[in-house]
Structure 1
Amino acid sequence: MALFLFLCLCSCTAGNQSIESTPERPYLMVLGVAQDAGYPQAGYQDEWEAIKLGQRQIQYTVSLGLVDPQNHKRYLFEATPDFKEQLQMMDKVSESQQYPFDGIFLTHAHIGHYTGLIHLGREVMGTKDIPVYTMPKMKSFLEQSGPWSQLVSLGNIDLQTMQDSTQVQLSPSISVMPFTVPHRDEYSETVGFKIQIAEKSIVFIPDIDKWNKWDVDIREVVKTNDLILIDASFYQDGELKGRDMSLIPHPFTRESMELFKDLSATDKDKVYFIHANHTNPLLDINSPEHEEVLKAGFHIARQEQIFRF
């Protein structure tokens, strides 16, 4: 399975993911970069004050928008607590045939990644048969747990089952492939996505446990794809005061940079850190840690950033 996944993640050609192209070409838009609770987080008055004083900016929960202008379609990756703000961001730049989205892809059942589905219910938008792509356990969770089950029974959403390492073809030139990754799977499995747009391949892994728990070498994933958006929940150990961070085993940003240190400059340039906890100094563009990542040759995903292909 590890070999199969590695082969599926491979891309024939690496290139500069930020090259501008014609408006008809598909593109990805970063709709949020923060961990599940966003920034500022509930109850942290210093963060709210920093926003008020203009010292920091609001950062929405991690999400991507995939836009296919030629077919007038768009897709959402993660339905977050910031769904309505992120939908508004998409409405300014794109359109869909099945409003609000022609499909929604979910990675797993942690609060920052699916709870935005509530906006599709009869209390809000009252949508009809919006395709929601899930893995089997995630599908069962939504079908059997209220209030999500009501979205299914009322036909607000139409659950589409995905299978590990199997492509979902969205158009002749666009496909999405889920692949399972190790994570705290209390209610569902967890996946990352490989998004294929023509000859370009994008890997999105917003949540994963430590890299050594995965049976795939993340360095090979970087080498064989064109753009990598990966989990940067925490910058380093000790970041959560008074909590045992081994119980929340995300890759520390510094661990990832150390793991990637021998990659070529071209490969490092593919890496974008995303899904930063409110405690992570990467969210502060003026922090030494933010500068450290950039100087090392990597990137930090920015809200409203667009990647054209």
Structure 2
Amino acid sequence: MRVHVLGSAAGGGFPQWNCNCPNCAAYRQGSPYHLARTQSSITVSADDSNWVLFNASPEILQQIRSFPALQPARQLRDTAIRAIFLMDAQIDHTTGLYMLREHRQPLELWCHALVRDDLVRGNPVLKVLEHYCGIHWHSVPLDQRNFCIDGAPGLLFTALPLLSNAPPYSPHRDQPQPGDNVGVTITDAASGKQLFYAPGLGTMEPHVWAAMQAADCVLVDGTLWTDDEMIALGASQKTSRSMGHLPQSGPGGMLEWLNRLPTTTRKVLIHINNTNPILDATSPQRQELTRRGIEVAFDGMEITL
């Protein structure tokens, strides 16, 4: 199984267009220790020919151009993206669907019914696409049974509900329901190797922890370093947890959980906010991650399992 990170930043990307936090300012001043990042998305394949796209970020066209495997050019109009899997209905994970409207047939879209409802009513992306290529919707089951995706041979998928937060336009905002946000275990059917992917994870529940322990690699929420990061910078009045993201540091933070995983587990943080000090490769926080054997995802990162 091959995993390619198309985008590794949280909403807004890095640098964020209107932000002058220490990270964004350092990047614009030419710092060699800060890498630009697009908004989070990955793509996965078992055969290097058929790919499942996880989330469709606003920079999807740039991301496709940066990864030629997604455009094999076998005919006049072509793509190697066989299906799109949405983890949630957030703007930074769905706006790219507009950019895929030239598809010759309906897009094969996998998401939970609550996500589909938000994208029909609250932010009607799917309604708009009815006037273009259309959507062939598949409901993502949350009973933790394996399922296959047509056109993606050699891969098995298992989805599970996460306690995070729905978008501001969702009727479930601040009242999360199972299906608003999901995590997914992707299994290579031939080798049995597993990736657990959860770019938005607000609470560590027993079934989530079990999935992480079983995985060979975890690619998980790295949005903010501290719970009050945005408040301390004056960028927001919201904590990390209130936005649906488990902070990395502090009691019960992501680092504590990652430390408890087997030493053989590859640990990677993704969906990194522009304010997070781990974006500075020389920061004490980044050095702490390195000491703990935790990686920071970057655009173009390759993971092979």
| TM-score bracket for the superposition, by shorter chain length | 0.7 to 0.9
Equivalent positions of 1:129-168 (< 5 A) are 129-144=106-121, 145-164=123-142, 165-168=144-147
Partner of 2:43, secondary structure, is strand
Amino acid at match of 1:63: S
- Say whether the 8 Å CA contact 2:70–2:79 is kept in structure 1: no
Q: What corresponds to 1:193 in structure 2?
A: 184
- Say whether the 8 Å CA contact 2:223–2:247 is kept in structure 1: yes
Work out whether 1:278 is the aligned partner of 2:274: yes
Amino acid at match of 1:248: M
Amino acid at match of 1:307: I
- Say whether the 8 Å CA contact 1:96–1:102 is kept in structure 2: no
Amino acid at match of 2:147: V
Q: How many residues align?
A: 275
CA distance in structure 2 between the partners assigned to 1:140 and 1:107 by the alignment:
14
Distance apart, 1:231 and its partner CA: 0.6
Partner of 1:235, secondary structure, is coil
Q: What corresponds to 1:119 in structure 2?
A: 99
Write the deviation string for residues 79-134 of structure 1: whole angstroms up to 9, x where unpaired: 0111111111222576388626211100111111111111023xxx3542121111
Write the deviation string for residues 267-288 of structure 1: whole angstroms up to 9, x where unpaired: 4xx2111111111112222211
- Say whether the 8 Å CA contact 2:8–2:297 is kept in structure 1: yes
Select the residue among 210, 216, 239 that pairs with 2:207. 216
Partner of 1:103, secondary structure, is strand
| Pair 134,63 (structure 1): closer, same or farther in 2 beyond 3 Å | same
Work out whether 1:252 is the aligned partner of 2:247: yes
- Say whether the 8 Å CA contact 1:128–1:156 is kept in structure 2: yes
Partner of 2:273, secondary structure, is coil
In percent, how many aligned pairs have the same letter?
21
CA distance in structure 1 between the partners assigned to 2:153 and 2:69 by the alignment:
26
CA distance in structure 1 between the partners assigned to 2:81 and 2:153 by the alignment:
19
Work out whether 1:108 is the aligned partner of 2:88: yes
- Say whether the 8 Å CA contact 1:67–1:94 is kept in structure 2: no
- Say whether the 8 Å CA contact 1:59–1:303 is kept in structure 2: yes
CA distance in structure 1 between the partners assigned to 2:158 and 2:73 by the alignment:
21
CA distance in structure 2 between the partners assigned to 1:104 and 1:130 by the alignment:
8
Distance apart, 1:247 and its partner CA: 2.6
Work out whether 1:27 is the aligned partner of 2:2: yes
Work out whether 1:85 is the aligned partner of 2:62: yes
| Pair 132,283 (structure 1): closer, same or farther in 2 beyond 3 Å | same
CA distance in structure 2 between the partners assigned to 1:88 and 1:151 by the alignment:
22
Distance apart, 1:303 and its partner CA: 1.9
| Pair 150,262 (structure 1): closer, same or farther in 2 beyond 3 Å | closer
RMSD over aligned Cα, in angstroms? 2.4
CA distance in structure 1 between the partners assigned to 2:24 and 2:245 by the alignment:
26
CA distance in structure 1 between the partners assigned to 2:9 and 2:272 by the alignment:
5
Write the deviation string for residues 33-85 of structure 1: whole angstroms up to 9, x where unpaired: 11121101121146555334331221111111113436x31121110111111
Q: Which has the higher helix share?
A: 1
CA distance in structure 2 between the partners assigned to 1:167 and 1:292 by the alignment:
36
Work out whether 1:296 is the aligned partner of 2:296: no
- Say whether the 8 Å CA contact 1:73–1:96 is kept in structure 2: no
Q: What corresponds to 2:148 in structure 1?
A: 169
Amino acid at match of 1:163: P
Q: 5+ residue gaps in structure 1?
A: 1-25
- Say whether the 8 Å CA contact 1:69–1:94 is kept in structure 2: no
Q: 5+ residue gaps in structure 2?
A: 171-178
CA distance in structure 2 between the partners assigned to 1:208 and 1:237 by the alignment:
13
